[in-house]
Amino acid sequence: MRTSRHNVKAPAEGRKSPVQAVVLVGFMGAGKTSVGRALGRLLGWQFVDLDDRIQARERSTIAEIFRSSGEAEFRRAEHHALRELLKEVESERLVIAVGGGAFSRAENASLFEDSLTTTIFLDAPADELWKRCSDDRTERPLRRDEQGFRELYETRRPRYLDAKLHIDTTGKEVSRIANEIAGSLGLKQNSAGKEK
């Protein structure tokens, strides 16, 4: 099931899409990185994971930043990396995956509003997200126990619903989700993987 919070108009035939960058938001386990890579390949756009940018910029893993400096320092680094990344959108078409907390913070949400991005909320029930995270070996600093996981999900979900498009990923293959996003935004690709 797919619902759209805002109407996202597809471009008229033969006209270039107004979408300059797609930003995937959602909770841990939503599939932002997997779907982002697939969507980037589908459109022929560069895929960027904000967490990778933060790690390169800080020369430390996300988990290490949390352990050594705490969440407040991580959020500061996240905000600066996001601000730098969104400047690139002015000259390059990107698919961007952001961490679960990035979109839920007001100072970051304002950056998205002022940029040429279209935000997509990848959603799934907390049960499914918990299972995906439990099956994944990625170290997630804020995934401690199931109760805390669910509470954080419920706290952040209302903010995610502010995204321009809401995609339910429950039980769907990554390629199907990528195609659904491209279709919903009127982004088409040719046989070479480039947008028409």
Residue 110 belongs to domain with CATH number = 3.40.50.300
The confidence band for 189, taking pLDDT boundaries of 50, 70 and 90, is low
| 195 or 146, higher pLDDT | 146
Residue 15, domain member (yes or no): no
Residue 8, domain member (yes or no): no
What residue numbers bound the domain in which 64 lies?
Answer: 20-184
Residue 172, domain member (yes or no): yes
CA distances from 50 to 86, 135, 140, 196 (A): 10, 22, 15, 27
**pLDDT tens track for 94-106:** 999 998 888 888 8
- Say what percent of the chain tops pLDDT 70: 81
Q: Does residue 29 contact residue 97 with C-beta atoms inside 8 Å? A: no
Phi, psi of 74 (to 5 degrees): -60, -45
* Domains identified in the chain, total number: 1
